[in-house]
Amino acid sequence: MPRIVAAMSGGVDSSVAAALLAREAAVGGDEVVGVWMRTHPDRGEGWEPRRGCCSTEAADDARRVAQRIGIPFFILNVEPEFGAQVIDAFAEAYLGGTTPNPCQACNQKIKFDLLARRAVGAYGADGVATGHYARIAHRDGRWRLLRAVDEAKDQTYFLWNLDQPQLAATRFPLGEMTKPQVRQLATEMELPTAATPESQEICFVPAGDYRALLAERMAYVGESGPIVDGEGRRLGTHTGFAHYTVGQRRGLGLTASEPHYVREIRPETNEVVVGSRDDLAARGFVADARHFVAGAPPAERFEAQVRIRHRAPEVNCEVTLVGSERMVVETAEPVWAAAPGQSAVLYLGDECLGGGRIARA
Amino acid sequence: MAIYLDHAATTPLRPEVLEAMLPYLTEHFGNPSSLHAAGRRARQGLDEARETVAGVLGAKPREIVFTSGASENTSLAINGIAWAASGRGRHMVTTVIEHRAVLNTCAVLERHGFEVTYLPVDRYGQVDPDAVANAIGPHTTLVAIGYANNEVGTVQPIAQIGAICRERKVVLYTDATQAAASLALDVDSLRVDLFGIAAHKVEGPKGVGALFVRQGTNLIPQQQGGSQERQRRAGTENVAGAVGLGEALRLARADAERLAAENERQRGLRQRLTHRLEGIADGELTGHPEARLPNSVSWAFRGVEGGDLVAALDLEGVAASTGSACTSGSAEPSHVLAAMGVPSDLIRGSLRLSMGRTTTAAEIDRAADLVAASVERVRAAAQPAAADAAPAPAGA
């Protein structure tokens, strides 16, 4: 019988996704196998485990859901791969003066690659389902990634790197639903995770403090250096360039009449460049590592909408491909704080075309 | 029909054992410490169970302490001796392949200033008795070495080690949890001073075990309270559990001929399975080829995650293990296989298949087929896929 792996985080979304599939299975759909991935280690014996989406507690929640909906449940250890491809990549991005995309990396490297391959081998499954808010459709002979019906929850920003084989083997059962509907369904189906709070923070960075992680993982403690303005005038002192993100306003310790924002990070000279809000606006940027979900770009030069941050407004743009990996994105109106390293994701109507990684200027 | 090949993790409760326990969960509910008839009746069940267990171990009933199982046995034995003898010395000897219960207990004692020597093992997982002799010093108070390893099934030369410990006047604690169903359990010929078993590995209930404490061995209890178990273990006794342990051990071991025949039968199945697994490329037996539990086959496959194999087999209806039931998704590769020097590309691909009294040759054959198919599938999926155009949905 065809089988599908439901990736379960212990949160309400993936719980409902798995439950919907289990309901289909009961009337002849694919057999469902629940899998929770261990991404980073527990604390030692006797200590209350950390909370958060990848904690042991989350594994307990996922297991309770699997029991409730009557599917087999396995824990898959992906610590080495997650450590190297998500956590280290996250830290390295900061050390390179860029802003990392851990959720995108986890989707690309872990959920839809590692898990998808393990699903075939270990679980004899044909594909993977997740609780992402996104849709998949087949149009004009290609698989398409479409925005979720619930625009506020749409997660295509983190999924732009999916390719054709992956989309063919993936299901997003929540794509047609709104978050309130998902919560309601969770309550109706009496899922133990129905009231689980929304997780916003990065699962491996407790309380959003990534400085501790840089110290622990990369032995980066930060060397203080100058905070300068666009003309190179020293305005203050920072604790280490990697502690700052483009667009950041708080924690700069500057006393000025108008607010300053981090505009650029220069690892080579350990400088943090700040500017006014207007200084961070630009009419475009260059992106590298470009990828198109359909397997090929619509054209060498095409019009689209671009999003440069999760939930940032989309902006009309013109995209011009350059070389084999880069593209120039010219926007119809200014975009603010395009941070090197972040994803620039391209849309056309309801379709997520793909995207790239914002390059350093 | 599911094929259960994880008897090293736990065994099904034998129906006769359940029968023996039931009265103590219903009508004979008394507290064995109570003076009245109900208490006396419960006490009788407990005393009879103690006699049965003592009989199987060749011990005196007063030398048997009922506990909650193997981990408690280990905690009571190691901590109990460590603290009772701490005035004489604070050094202990164990091996690198012991169960986590032993290693973690020792680690805590090290934080309290005790010194622990962890002896190496050879490639089969056996410890050298001479190494034990050499490790014992003037301040050594305890040697803790398990009878048969839970992951690879290798059996240790306990009687030889026991002789050394006896001569050097050092207490020997042996966890016999995995050995209880099949190996010789006579505490005098093994020359052990502390010897632990758990009911659920011999078709008894979970949550009950027994620790043999040789008369004259001083031991600090790890749980304070009333004077139950001759002040070795406070708390109202698990009467039904103790009865279950006694009955399970009796059924498994009272008839020596039958036990020998069953061991022989399981050894035959082990050979059969070993032979089949040898036909799968890039894998090898782990543990000792002969000095091993009759029911346990442990293997390592190159290029496979043991956990994937266990999941694959489970979904095909075969219950197996990577080697221990306690490593739910833990990142650490087996400390036992690492200590045996199993190459790193094999170490993650461990699989343990352990048989029981009800395992049949047909089940072994079917399981072997499924292992072969699963290994092949898991290996194939580990290769990066050819990124061709994806198939279109039906009707698209």
Give CA–CA dist B289/B155, Å, rounded. 10
Catalytic residue selected from B326, B361, B381, B382: B326
Q: Which residue has the tokens 């993790």?
A: B9
Among B378, B383, B388, the strongest candidate for a mutation testing the A interface, having the largest count of A CBs within 10 A, is B378
Kindly state whether B26 is in contact with chain A, defined as any CB-CB distance less than 8 angstroms. Answer: no
Give CA–CA dist B7/B380, Å, rounded. 29
pLDDT digits (tens, 9 = 90+) for B197-223: 999 999 999 999 999 999 999 999 999
Kindly state whether B331 is in contact with chain A, defined as any CB-CB distance less than 8 angstroms. Answer: yes
Closest CA to B3 of B318, B271, B216, B276: B318
Interchain contact, A123 vs B391, CB within 8 Å: no
Q: Which residues, other chains included, contact A112 with Cβ-Cβ below 8 Å and sequence gap of 6+?
A: A128, A162, A166, A170
Interchain contact, A164 vs B389, CB within 8 Å: yes
Task: Count other Cβ atoms within 10 Å, centred on residue A304.
Answer: 22
Provide the 8-state DSSP code for A141: T
B365-368 long-range CB contacts below 8 Å, 24 or more apart? B365/B272, B365/B276, B366/B3, B366/B318, B367/B3, B367/B5, B367/B273, B367/B313, B367/B318, B367/B320, B368/B273, B368/B276, B368/B277
Give the phi and the psi of residue B385 in degrees, each rounded to 5. -70, 150
In the sheet with A234-238, reading across from the earlier edge strand, the strands are A234-238, A225-228, A271-275, A261-266
Kindly state whether B381 is in contact with chain A, defined as any CB-CB distance less than 8 angstroms. Answer: yes
Interchain contact, B307 vs A165, CB within 8 Å: no
Task: Count other Cβ atoms within 10 Å, centred on residue B389.
Answer: 12
pLDDT of residue B387: 44
pLDDT digits (tens, 9 = 90+) for B325-339: 554 555 578 999 999
Residues of chain B found within 8 Å of residue A124, distances taken between Cβ atoms = 312, 315-316, 377
pTM of the model: 0.88
3 state SS of A182:
helix
Residues of chain B found within 8 Å of residue A164, distances taken between Cβ atoms = 387, 389-390
Residue of B nearest to A119 (CA): B381
How far CA B83 is from CA of B76, B221, B226, in Å, comes to: 10, 10, 20
Give CA–CA dist B84/B218, Å, rounded. 6
Kindly state whether B394 is in contact with chain A, defined as any CB-CB distance less than 8 angstroms. Answer: no
Give CA–CA dist B273/B375, Å, rounded. 15
Q: Which residues, other chains included, contact A168 with Cβ-Cβ below 8 Å and sequence gap of 6+?
A: A127, A143, B390, B391
Among A74, A204, A291, A293, the strongest candidate for a mutation testing the B interface, having the largest count of B CBs within 10 A, is A74
Give CA–CA dist B319/A260, Å, rounded. 62
Q: Which residues, other chains included, contact B389 with Cβ-Cβ below 8 Å and sequence gap of 6+?
A: A164, A295
Listed in sequence order, the DSSP H helices in chain A are 12-26, 56-69, 79-82, 88-95, 102-105, 115-123, 164-168, 179-188, 210-218
Task: Count other Cβ atoms within 10 Å, centred on residue A165.
Answer: 19
Residues pairing with A204 in the sheet:
none
For residue B104, give the nearest of A45, A118, A168 by CB distance: A45
* Residue B165 falls in the annotated catalytic set: no
Q: Return per-residue pLDDT of chain A as tens, 361 residues.
A: 799 999 999 999 999 999 999 999 999 999 999 999 988 876 555 555 555 555 668 889 999 999 999 999 999 888 889 999 999 999 999 999 999 999 999 999 999 999 999 898 889 999 999 999 999 999 999 999 999 999 999 999 999 999 999 999 999 999 999 999 999 999 999 999 998 888 777 888 877 789 989 998 999 999 999 999 999 999 999 999 999 999 999 888 887 778 899 999 999 999 999 999 999 999 999 999 999 999 999 999 999 999 999 988 999 999 999 999 999 999 999 999 999 999 999 999 999 999 999 998 7
Q: Which amino acid is at A103?
A: C
Kindly state whether A141 is in contact with chain B, defined as any CB-CB distance less than 8 angstroms. Answer: yes
Q: Which residue has the tokens 């189906």?
A: A189
Task: Note the Cα A109 to chain centre separation in Å.
Answer: 11
Distance of residue B170 Cα from the nearest chain A Cα, in angstroms: 30
Asked whether the beta carbons of B96 and B335 are under 8 A apart, the reply is yes
Q: Return per-residue pLDDT of chain B as tens, 396 residues.
A: 799 999 999 999 999 999 999 999 999 999 999 999 999 999 999 999 999 999 999 999 999 999 999 999 999 999 999 999 999 999 999 999 999 999 999 999 999 999 999 999 999 999 999 999 999 999 999 999 999 999 999 999 999 999 999 999 999 999 999 999 999 999 999 999 999 999 999 999 999 999 999 999 999 999 999 999 999 999 999 999 999 999 999 999 989 999 999 999 999 999 999 999 999 999 999 999 999 999 999 999 998 989 899 999 999 999 999 986 554 555 578 999 999 999 988 998 999 999 999 999 999 999 999 999 999 999 988 765 544 445 555 443
Q: Which residues, other chains included, contact B295 with Cβ-Cβ below 8 Å and sequence gap of 6+?
A: B7, B8, B153, B181, B182, B266, B269, B270, B354, B355, B356, B359
Give the phi and the psi of residue B296 in degrees, each rounded to 5. -115, 130
Asked whether the beta carbons of A18 and A31 are under 8 A apart, the reply is no
Give CA–CA dist B140/A43, Å, rounded. 32
Q: Supply A8's token pair.
A: 């379960």
